[in-house]
DNA sequence: ATCATCTTAGAAAACGTTTTCATAGTATTT
DNA sequence: AAATACTATGAAAACGTTTTCTAAGATGAT
């Protein structure tokens, strides 16, 4: 059923080396031979066996997209799918072999074991996201520099590691600034993400920068990116503040529902720009990330790393959008 | 950096064949040798190179999960991620190699080319979902029986093809029956999915079975699984009926919003049990599918097929649930 | 006509495994 | 003690490529 290079060679009346050379566009092949081989390839519908070719040529790169699944499904599915699609689309264009690894699959491995596992799979580069500062295993992997790594959403760069993300600090600053009216704002409740998250800290910097500029009082509470926690914290602290700034859309939805429940009006904004906002976050502002583009860029950046260039920081644009009240069915 | 079987053999003072045999649990190995080898393996952190091993042993199976991305993002992301997670989790348990293929990657290939491509990747089994009756390329692939195929949500079975799904007919029947009050119901609006979808037709059979039983008048409209179309069709036909039965949650949300807009009350139900219902479908009933379990079972079924058994039909349980009105933040 | 150079193509090694087959050594049977 | 069977091991072929090296033949320079 499967055609091998040998059969192509026989059909074309040449050696297998010649066939391989034609397919890899080597120079020293006469046009006549080229045509003969190409004809045979077409007729037999030959596609090189990727396993054999990977084994043979040591230099072929394979990249893994490390997919981080946690318990916060609802918001994260869309983001994960966008990362997946963006990465696969770009990898496809660039003829880069991309595979997925789920965190559960490798959760019980040590760094050492993970390294061996990746190497055994022929993986030379890995794209990670959702990293936090306690993720020792991955951080050590990055530290050791045995693999090329592209980190989404963490400012980690070394010779073999690049960082791709929006400017989270500026994003948080921008969206908060858009809803805060300096003259009427005395106190702001900021619902931050997970403690020790890189993203969490960058966004906190953003709101703090704005605080310094505008001089309001700031109450920072860690809500772990959880809708429920955001709801509870809003219940507890919102009556005391003018504005609730949330580090994620899901938290903003929780906060909004708490505000509705308490029957008080407060300005409120989210972060990410997920589709759920169209259903449950109407009227709010958010900082939209283009996740598809981010992971596409991560692949591009990976290509750069794999070509031997040193790691760098890549910043993707963000966008402040408002979730319109108007009828969504127009 | 990468340890080979040769180094292990040297360290253990045996031949590479012996190392391989130990690792593959062959019988004719003395306990003493076994221990020596295992020790060396551990010390060197050896993991067999999967490329080489795949090339060498022809019988190792590799399965592809065919991920179907279309324009209806919002509802489908969650389902896709559940399929992905369920499949990878089960594949991991069973030590089955699983890769993903996105429809975009292969959309411009003919069946012939797709076949060659899959074969060249060493893929022997493929899991598909979201298939409809015009999907000639995949249908032909199934027909030809060069690959083992597990079809989610289509009743296609042959020697090398199994079908895994809930009983869509019964599911649609059950959920509709749960909201329809026979004595007060004269006419029902049924918003069906995509024309020529296997799922669409099975669910239509379900509502028609109920119609025959209860004798109401039935208006079937194809809403293509689209929220917007469901909204529009509800606007157009709902005032005339007692109940709106929808073939998906997303359509139910569209229908519900239309009912709210028209300010009329009609019974309404969805299908799938996606998380979005908790935000935008409160008070409705739906037929919940366990997508994680379904794809896990697809992997199990694939193992059966790969072991040479003939295809069969596997039915997964569904569940009628109601999306509670009560405060989600309890 | 001789030698050097270039072009083209094939032979063969290599990639890291798995697996078949042969064999040395040991244990069992007669 | 000889014949037989079994156990444990290693040698080597195979998987399907890629790539280096060699060489035959053609072309060009002297």
Q: What does the pLDDT average to over B143-171?
A: 97
Rounded mean pLDDT of B151-167?
98
Which whole number is the average pLDDT over B93-122? 91
Q: Total structural domains in chain B? A: 2
The verdict on A80 touching B (C-beta cutoff 8 Å) is yes
Shortest-distance nucleotide from B20 CA to C1': C18
pLDDT value at residue B60: 81
A85, A226, A199, A64: which is closest to A131 by C-alpha?
Answer: A199
Chain A residues near residue B278 by CB distance under 8 angstroms: 74
A104 CB near a chain B CB, below 8 Å?
yes
Nucleotide C14's nearest residue (CA vs C1') is A56
Structure tokens at A23: 């397919």
Helix or strand run (H / E) with residue A229: helix A227-237
Q: How far apart are CA B206 and CA B223, in angstroms?
A: 17
Answer whether A85 sits within 8 Å of B102, measured CB to CB. yes
Q: Give the mean pLDDT of B72-96.
A: 88
Q: Which chain A residue has its CA at the smallest distance from B60's CA?
A: A51
State the Cα–Cα distance between residues B125 and B303, nearest whole angstrom.
9
pLDDT in tens, A203-254: 999 999 999 999 999 999 999 999 999 999 999 999 999 999 999 999 999 9
For residue B256, which of B222, B233, B274, B287 has the smallest C-alpha distance?
B233
Among candidate residues B41, B57, B73, the one where a domain is terminated: B57
CA distance B305 to B294: 16
Task: Tell me, yes or no, whether B25 lies in a domain.
Answer: yes
The dihedral of CA A271, A272, A274, A278: what is its sign?
Answer: positive
Q: Is residue A294 part of a domain?
A: no
Closest-CA residue of B relative to A41 is B116
> Which CATH number fits the domain that encloses residue B210?
3.40.50.2300
Question: Taking the C-alpha atoms of B188, B191, B195 and B201 in order, what is their torsion angle to the nearest 10 degrees?
Answer: -60
* Element (DSSP H or E) covering residue B69: none
What is the C-alpha separation between A16 and B304, in angstroms, rounded? 38
Low-confidence ranges of chain A (pLDDT < 70): 1, 71-75
- The answer for residues whose C-beta is within 8 angstroms of residue A108's C-beta and 6 or more apart is none
Q: What is the DSSP letter of B151?
A: E
pLDDT digits (tens, 9 = 90+) for B170-216: 999 999 999 999 999 999 999 999 999 999 999 999 999 999 999 99
Q: Which residue of B has its CA nearest to A70?
A: B85
Whole-number Å distance between alpha carbons of B320 and B315: 16
Q: What is the pLDDT of residues B300-319, one digit of tens each?
A: 999 999 999 999 999 999 99
Instruction: Read off the CATH number of the domain in which B47 is found.
Output: 1.10.260.40
Residue B135 lies in a domain: no
As a rounded value in angstroms, the CA-to-C1' distance for B64 and D13 is 31
Whole-number Å distance between alpha carbons of B278 and B316: 23
| Measured CA distances, A188 to A19, A238, A244, A257 (Å) | 69, 9, 6, 18
| CA–CA separation, A62 and A47 (whole Å) | 19
Q: Residue A293: which H helix or E strand, with range?
A: helix A291-306
CA distance B281 to chain A (A): 10
Q: Does B231 touch chain A (CB under 8 A)?
A: yes
Report d(CA B38, CA B30) in Å as an integer. Answer: 12
How does DSSP assign B195-225, residue by residue?
TTBHHHHHHHHHHHHHHHHH--EEEEEE-TT
Instruction: Report yes or no: A94 and A299 within 8 Å, Cβ to Cβ.
Output: yes
Distance separating alpha carbons of residues A4 and A222, to the nearest angstrom: 59
Selecting from B100, B254, B276 the residue whose C-beta is nearest the C-beta of A100 gives B100
Mean pLDDT of B9-32: 93
To the nearest whole number, what is the mean pLDDT of chain B? 94
Please give the Cα distance from B23 to B30 (Å, whole number). 13
Please classify residue B209 by burial: count the beta carbons closer than 10 Å to its beta carbon, then call 0-12 exposed, 13-18 middle and 19+ buried. middle
B22 lies in a domain? yes
| Among candidate residues B61, B13, A120, B40, the one with its CA nearest the CA of residue B23 | B40
Taking CA atoms, B210 is separated from A50, B179, B240, in Å, by 52, 12, 19
pLDDT at B74 over 60: no
Question: How many A×B Cβ pairs under 8 Å?
Answer: 136
Nucleotides in chain C with any atom closer than 7 Å to protein CB:
7-12, 14-20
Measure the CA–CA gap between B235 and A257, rounded to whole angstroms: 28
Closest residue in chain B to residue A48, using alpha carbons only: B120
A17 touches strand D (CB under 7 A): yes
- The reply to whether B84 Cβ lies less than 7 angstroms from strand D is no
Contact B279 A85 (CB under 8 A): no
- Strand, coil or helix: what is B30? coil
Radius of gyration of chain B (CA): 25
Domain end point (choices A41, A57, A73): A57
Residue linked to tokens 């409160």: B282
> pLDDT at position B27, please?
82
| A70–chain B Cβ distance below 8 A for any pair | no
Neighbours of A170 (CB within 10 A): 16
Q: Report residue B90's pLDDT band, with 50, 70 and 90 as the boundaries.
A: very high
The first and second tokens of residue A181, run together, are 């009216």
β-partners of residue A290 are: none
pLDDT confidence of residue A71: 62
Spatial distance between the Cα atoms of A307 and A59, rounded to a whole number of angstroms: 11
Which tens digit of pLDDT belongs to each residue from A292-302? 999 999 999 99
Q: What pLDDT shows up at residue A76?
A: 86
The answer to whether residue B309 sits within a structural domain is no
> Would you say residue A157 lies in a domain?
no
Of B89, B99, B279, the CB nearest to A104: B89
Domain end marker among B33, B57, B81:
B57
Confidence of residue B72 (pLDDT cuts 50, 70, 90): low
pLDDT-derived band at B327 (thresholds 50, 70, 90) equals: confident
Q: Is B108 exposed, middle or buried (0-12, 13-18, 19+ CB in 10 A)?
A: exposed
- The set of residues, in sequence order, having a beta carbon less than 8 Å from that of B51 and lying 6+ positions away, is A51, A54, A55, A121, A122
Please name the residue whose C-alpha is nearest to the C1' of nucleotide C13.
A56
- Kind of pairing between the strands at A319-322 and B62-67: unpaired
Q: What value does the mean pLDDT take over residues B87-93?
A: 94
| Boundaries of domain holding A53 | 1-57
- Residue A163: HSE in the Cβ half-sphere, 13 Å Cα cutoff: 16
Rounded to whole angstroms, the Cα distance separating A139 from B327 reads 40
A25 touches strand C (CB under 7 A): no
Residue A38 lies in a domain: yes
Alpha helices in B215-281 (DSSP H): 227-237, 249-262, 277-280
Q: Is B94 on the interface with A (CB under 8 A)?
A: no
Q: How far apart are CA B126 and CA B98, in angstroms?
A: 9
Say which of B48, B92, B120 has its CB closest to residue A120. B48
CA neighbor of A99 nearest in space, from B51, B38, B315, B148: B51
Does a structural domain hold residue A30? yes
Q: What is residue B245's three-state secondary structure?
A: strand
Block residue for tokens 């050791």: A144
Question: Would you state the torsion angle of the CA atoms of residues A288, A291, A296, A297, taken in this order, to the nearest 10 degrees?
Answer: 50
In this structure, how many other beta carbons lie within 10 angstroms of the beta carbon of residue A269?
28
The Cα A248–Cα A271 span in angstroms is 4
- pTM, entire model: 0.93
Give every strand in the sheet of B243-246, ordered side by side.
B217-222, B187-192, B243-246, B267-269, B285-288, B319-322
Angstrom distances, CA of residue A304 to CA of A45, A125, A233: 33, 11, 44
At B329, is the pLDDT very low, low, confident or very high (cuts 50, 70, 90)?
A: confident
Token output for B37: 């080898």
Mean pLDDT, residues B51-78: 84
Are the C-beta atoms of residues A238 and A259 closer than 8 Å to each other?
yes
């Amino acid at each position: 059923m499967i055609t091998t290079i040998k059969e192509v060679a026989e059909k074309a009346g040449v050696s297998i080396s010649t066939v391989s050379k034609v397919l890899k566009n080597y120079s020293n092949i006469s046009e006549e031979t080229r045509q003969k081989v190409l004809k045979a390839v077409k007729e037999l519908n030959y596609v090189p066996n990727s396993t054999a070719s990977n084994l043979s040529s040591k230099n072929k790169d394979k990249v893994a997209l490390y997919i981080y699944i946690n318990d916060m499904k609802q918001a994260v599915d869309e983001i994960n799918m966008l990362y997946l699609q963006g990465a696969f689309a770009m990898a496809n264009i660039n003829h880069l072999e991309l595979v997925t690894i789920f965190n559960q699959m490798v959760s019980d491995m040590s760094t050492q074991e993970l390294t061996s596992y990746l190497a055994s799979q022929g993986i030379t580069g890995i794209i990670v996201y959702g990293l936090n500062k306690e993720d020792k295993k991955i951080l050590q992997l990055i530290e050791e520099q045995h693999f090329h790594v592209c980190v989404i959403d963490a400012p980690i760069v070394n010779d073999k590691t690049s960082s791709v993300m929006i400017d989270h600090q500026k994003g948080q600053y921008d969206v908060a600034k858009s809803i805060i009216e300096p003259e009427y704002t005395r106190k702001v409740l900021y619902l931050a993400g997970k403690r020790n998250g890189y993203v969490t800290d960058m966004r906190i910097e953003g709101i703090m920068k704005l605080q310094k500029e505008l001089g309001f009082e700031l109450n920072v509470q860690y809500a772990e990116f959880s809708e429920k926690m955001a709801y509870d914290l809003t219940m507890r602290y919102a009556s005391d503040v003018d504005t609730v700034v949330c580090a994620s859309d899901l938290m903003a939805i929780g906060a909004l529902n708490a505000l509705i429940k308490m029957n008080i009006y407060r300005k409120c904004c989210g972060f990410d720009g997920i589709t759920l906002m169209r259903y449950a976050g109407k009227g709010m502002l958010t900082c939209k990330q283009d996740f598809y583009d981010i992971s596409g860029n991560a692949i591009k950046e990976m290509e750069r790393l794999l070509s031997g260039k040193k790691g760098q920081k890549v910043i993707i644009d963000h966008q402040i959008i408002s979730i319109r009240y108007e009828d969504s069915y127009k």
